[in-house]
Amino acid sequence: MSRTYAPEGLKDAEAATPRGPHPGPFGWLRWIWRQLTSMRVALLLLLLLAVVALPGSFFPQRSVDAQRVVQYYADHPSSAPWLERLGIFDVYASPWFSAVYLLLFLSLIGCIVPRTRVHLRALRAQPTRVPRSFSRFPVRNELTVAAPPKQVRDTLMAALGRRYRRRAAVERRTTASGATSETLTVSAERGYGRESGNLLFHLALVGLLTVTAWGQLVHYRGQALVIEGDSFVNSALGYDSFDSGAWFAEDSLEPFRFRLDSFESVFTDDAQARDFTANVTVSDPDGSERADTIRVNYPLAVGEVNVYLVGNGYAPDLTVRDASGQIAFSGPVPFLPTDNVYTSNGVVMVPDANGGESQLGFKGTLLPTAVMSSQGRFLGSAYPQPIDPVIVLDAYVGDLGLDDGVPQNLYVLDTERMTLLTGTDDAGRSEPFQVIMRPGEEVELPDGQGSITFNALPRFVALDLRRDPSVPWMGLFAALAFAGLIGSLFLPRRRVWARLADGGDGTTVVTAAALARGDDPVLRRELERLLDALGPRTKEDR
Amino acid sequence: MNDQMGDLSTALVYAAMAAYMVAMVAFAVDVSALGTGTGRDRPRRAAGIAVATTWLGAGLHLVGIVTRGLAAGRAPWANMYEFTLMFTFFAVAIFLGIQTSRDVRYVGVLVTLLALLGLGLAVSVLFVRADGVQPALNSYWLLIHVSVATLSTGVLSISAMFSVLQLLKARHARVPQRSDPVAVGAGGASAELVDDRAEVLDDRAEVLDDRARVPAERAARDVGASPEQETFVGRLMASLPSSENLERLAYRLNAIGFVTWTFTLVAGAIWAEHAWGRPWGWDPKETWTFVVWVIYAAYLHARVTAGWAAERFAYFALVGFVAVLANFYVVNVFFSGKHSYAGI
């Protein structure tokens, strides 16, 4: 049996109006719409949504970690292209995932809108008339009270209180003998908030989806790497990578800047990170300056932009002189940490060496706290802080391949057209030449190729900058959905009816019943509470 | 930080496990006594002992969690070991809480078994020394997001225990009930009020619902007399409440669990916005949390769909619980994602 989402007070309203077959396209559309908004299809779509969301957790996602997708291609060269065609690496942007959630929301809207109309009508309506017989209600009672009906009615109305919407009425009955008898009745209903909450929850979900989609269109996000002492300027050029929504306009970048004054890190004795703090001086768009910090979990807010600290490392400050003794390169070079003790790999490219004729390139490792074996080889780093920093580099000479116009990864040295510089060991044998230096040291390259100097060891921070005006709205809709959910699950919806018949001698025979929607463990207690308020019972019959 | 305090915490957890072990055995003795049918109104001494030792275990468990927090100098729910301590504690505490207002000792053996399995896995596989946390976890959202996550897991696991019993009971009761023509949605009381048709139809659905429950409960009460019940399992099942009552209990817990799970999800999104610069990024943990949420949402919708047998949505709830377990044990350990640091 298929039903629409059980609208409170309208469970069978649609099914109650039978319609014949509708031939023609309009009939088909109506049939499809009816199917789509049925509870069975909605349930199916919900379960389908759970199923189609899962592949994204089993396969690497480009939106989460593009590098792992590349790795997957390398590991599974035959299956990866097929998975690509199915959209497995972009599950949450794939047509099939989108189809499921869009259909689900369509189904939801198609159900919520009529329900909202019905509920708005119900909010204005009076409580239902008292049913003729109470025998079919499991929660009911009959008793006699020593008070006249009118007084009992007033007491009952007061006991129901303002939480109930109350309606007092009079039933007139004509008996066979032609006499007319009058019976006072009370109908009451409470808990409209249950359906209001339910509707609010579903409408807030629609709102959440809408503002998320809007945020996708207007947001921008960029990554920047900033070295101690350097400044970041919020312009397209300031970013290392940048992506934005379709409605983003580049001139909407707010003109602010900040300087990374210093970076502090705290580690435990066993090299576990405990705190990272980037101290910055921010120049706001209005020109004022202030000191602030960026920490993990505590982003920096500048205007509408949030700046997140996502990584950090060392950027050894190096100077390279070429064969002529000219300074061909000087400045800090970020080395990317590869483990928790900050063993960091990096590349130095010197395209300007020797007038660009024979360029210099270096690749190697920075060890913040170098550990040496007894043979004099470096084993690695023992601690993330720079207690005894050593830089170990291989030196190359030749063509860096930067002039092809093909974009190059700044952290990979293309050595195809370069030759490794070699030196001689103590015994006079030829072996690869290695630059090994500590801060302040200078190393001469073999064959008079020049020299390299390790000036200092500043740190760098990797930052994510993001503007997404939809986030506060998401918070609002999430809060509304949560409030609505609580109302729809925990507010009891109850109806109470009572018939107050004159029992003679100033007494009243009260028959009452209560009905709840859904699960209501205290319904009987509620009815008894109301009846207890009517005063001592002279006769009771359940 | 404070190794002695950490050792004390571990010792307390072992003590709590010992108490739960005693309680589980006592609960099992009680259940088997129910099954052998010795005196219906006999004093259930084993069950009394079991409940008392469960209280003792919960007390030790709680002190173990508190000392763990003192040892680490932070909220004691920042890794899988501590998460397990928390959710098993919540599970036991919820069981004891329900027990104070109604007799649910029949589920005690399952609850203590769950606590023992969880804690056993925690102390043997997931254990880590009490220590501080890395910067990513150093946020007040750890207090909010993870504690409510443990509470949700505790609530949903107790609910799943009731659903298991409900299915067992329903399966057992189905045999004599198969000839019973009354099922949810079948039959029909004629509408009595004609002035407000929709309302009456509405009420009728409710009444039908209750009508369907009444014979089932009556059947459950009467089973003691039927010859088919003169077996161990039969008597055991007869001592359980009706599957409808078990279902209602499971539903109430699931409703609470769904709300707390929703809160976990929203709080997690807010934390992710602070920590990673986006409220939602389909990280494996986020994906699975979402999937769990959707499954329980489907459960709640299935439950208000007329014409569905109660067993069907119990399966929804159990699938949801399996997803909750997978979200914790499988996703944290085997999937690499932004929640991986919370690992072992």
Rounded to whole angstroms, how far apart are CA atoms A120 and A451? 82
- CA–CA gap between residue B236 and residue B232 (Å, rounded): 6
* Range of lowest pLDDT (A49-53, A392-396, B209-213): B209-213
Chain B residues with CB inside 8 Å of A3's CB?
Answer: 305-307
Kindly compute the dihedral angle of the four CA atoms of residues B30, B36, B38, B41, in this order, to the nearest 10 degrees.
Answer: 60
Q: Which runs of E-coded beta strand occur in B113-199? A: none
Of A115, A134, A152, which closes a domain? A115
Report the DSSP beta bridge partners of residue A232.
A258
CATH number reported for the structural domain that contains residue A536 in this entry: 3.30.530
CB pairs under 8 A between A and B: 167
Residues A339 and A382 occupy one common structural domain: yes
- Residue A143 located in a structural domain: yes
Mean pLDDT, each 10-residue run in order, chain B (344 residues): 86 97 94 73 84 97 96 91 96 97 93 97 92 86 94 97 93 59 34 33 39 44 49 82 91 96 96 91 93 95 80 90 95 77 48
**Pair A147, A228 in one domain:** no
Could you read off the pLDDT of A277-309 as tens digits, one per residue? Answer: 999 999 988 888 999 999 999 999 998 899 999
Quick one: tokens of A343?
A: 């063993």
SS3 letters across A108-153? HHHHHHHHHHHHHHHHHCCCCCCCCCCCCCCEEEEEEECCCHHHHH
Nearest to B210 among A9, A138, A475 (CB): A138
Q: In the predicted model, what is the mean pLDDT of residues A337-348?
A: 93
Q: How far apart (Å, rounded) are the C-alpha atoms in residues B155 and A535?
A: 41
Residue A186: per-residue pLDDT: 94
- Give me the numbers of helices (H) and strands (E) for chain A, helices first please: 10, 29
Residues of B within 8 A of A275 (CB-CB) are 135, 138
Q: Within its chain, how far is the Cα of A311 from the centroid?
A: 21
Q: Are residues A430 and A323 in the same domain?
A: yes
Q: Kindly report which listed range (A207-216, A465-474, B333-342) carries the lowest average pLDDT score.
A: B333-342
Q: Does residue A264 fall inside a structural domain?
A: yes
Please answer whether residues A48 and A102 qualify as being in contact, where contact means their C-beta atoms are separated by less than 8 angstroms.
no
Distance separating alpha carbons of residues A380 and A382, to the nearest angstrom: 7
A173 contact B CB<8A? no
Residues A336 and A435 grouped into a single domain: yes
In this structure, is residue A400 part of a structural domain? Answer: yes
Same domain, A260 and A323: no
Q: What is the dihedral of CA B254, B260, B266, B272, to 10 degrees?
A: -110
Q: Is residue A15 part of a domain?
A: no
Q: Hunting for tokens 């009728």 — which residue is that?
A: B204
Q: Which of residues 111-170 of B touch A (CB under 8 A)?
A: 131-132, 134-136, 138-139, 141
pLDDT at residue number A22: 52
Dihedral in degrees, nearest 10, Cα atoms B283, B344, B318, A94: 20
Give how far B228 is from chain A: nearest CA, Å.
Answer: 30
- 3-state class of A325 per DSSP? coil
Q: Residue A375 sits in which domain range? A: 317-455
Half-sphere exposure for B148 (CA within 13 Å, toward CB): 19
Q: Is B194 on the interface with A (CB under 8 A)?
A: no
- Tokens describing residue B86: 């928390």
Nearest to B165 by CA among B113, B202, B212: B113
Q: Is B335 on the interface with A (CB under 8 A)?
A: yes
Query: Is residue A132 located within the same domain as residue A180?
Result: yes
What's the burial of A220, exposed, middle or buried (CB within 10 Å: 0-12/13-18/19+)? buried
In total, how many domains does chain A have?
A: 4
Residues 6+ apart with CB under 8 A from A441: A453, A454
Does residue A305 sit in the same domain as residue A398? Answer: no
Q: A209: which 2 tokens?
A: 């989806």
Determine contact, residues B299/B320, Cβ cutoff 8 Å.
yes
Q: Cα(B274)–Cα(A293) distance, rounded to whole angstroms?
A: 14
Tell me the C-alpha distance between A84 and A74, whole Å: 13
Say how many C-beta atoms besides its own lie within 10 A of residue B267's C-beta.
19
Q: Is residue A241 part of a domain?
A: yes
**pLDDT-above-90 percentage for chain A:** 60
Mean pLDDT on A337-344: 92
Q: Which residue of chain A is at minimal alpha-carbon distance from B244? A: A519
Contact A394, A362 (CB under 8 A): yes
Report pLDDT for A172: 85
Strands across the sheet with A305-314, in order? A241-244, A220-227, A459-467, A305-314, A300-302
Q: Which of A222, A197, A396, A213 is nearest to A306 (CA)?
A: A222
A371 and A262 together in one domain: no
Q: Is the pLDDT of residue A23 over 70?
A: no
Chain B residue numbers with beta carbons less than 8 Å from the beta carbon of A481 are: 262
Give the pLDDT band of residue A20 (cuts 50, 70, 90): low
- Per the domain annotation, does A208 fall within a domain? no
Cα-based distances in Å from B121 to A288, B22, B93 = 56, 18, 20
CB–CB of A268 and B262 under 8 A? no
pLDDT at A101: 94
Question: Where is pLDDT greater, at A406 or A267?
Answer: A267
Residue of B nearest to A90 (CA): B282
**Are A435 and A323 in a shared domain?**
yes
The verdict on A338 and A442 lying in the same domain is yes
Chain A residue numbers with beta carbons less than 8 Å from the beta carbon of B248 are 519, 521
Are residue A444 and residue A401 in the same domain, yes or no?
yes
Average predicted confidence (pLDDT) for chain A: 88
The reply to whether A206 falls in a domain is: no
Nearest to B108 by CA among B126, B118, B95: B95
Cα–Cα distance for residue pair B114/B111, rounded to 1 Å: 5
Q: Pick the last residue of a domain from A74, A92, A115.
A: A115
Q: Are residues B187 and B208 in contact, defined by beta-carbon separation less than 8 angstroms?
A: yes
Do A84 and A159 reside in the same domain of the chain?
no
A409 pLDDT higher than 60 = yes
CB burial class (10 A; 0-12, 13-18, 19+) of residue A407?
A: exposed
Selected residues 27-66 of chain B with any CB under 8 Å from a CB in chain A: none
Crossing angle of the two packed helices B80-101 and B108-121, in degrees rounded to 10: 170
Output the pLDDT for position A103.
94
Task: Tell whether A387 is covered by a domain.
Answer: yes
Q: Which of residues 220-259 of B touch A (CB under 8 A)?
A: 248, 251-252, 255, 258-259
Answer left, alpha or beta for residue A11, where phi above 0 means left and psi between -120 and 50 means alpha: alpha
Q: pLDDT tens digits for A470-480?
A: 999 999 999 99
Single-letter amino acid code for the residue at A448:
G
- Amino acid identity of residue A522, one-letter, is V
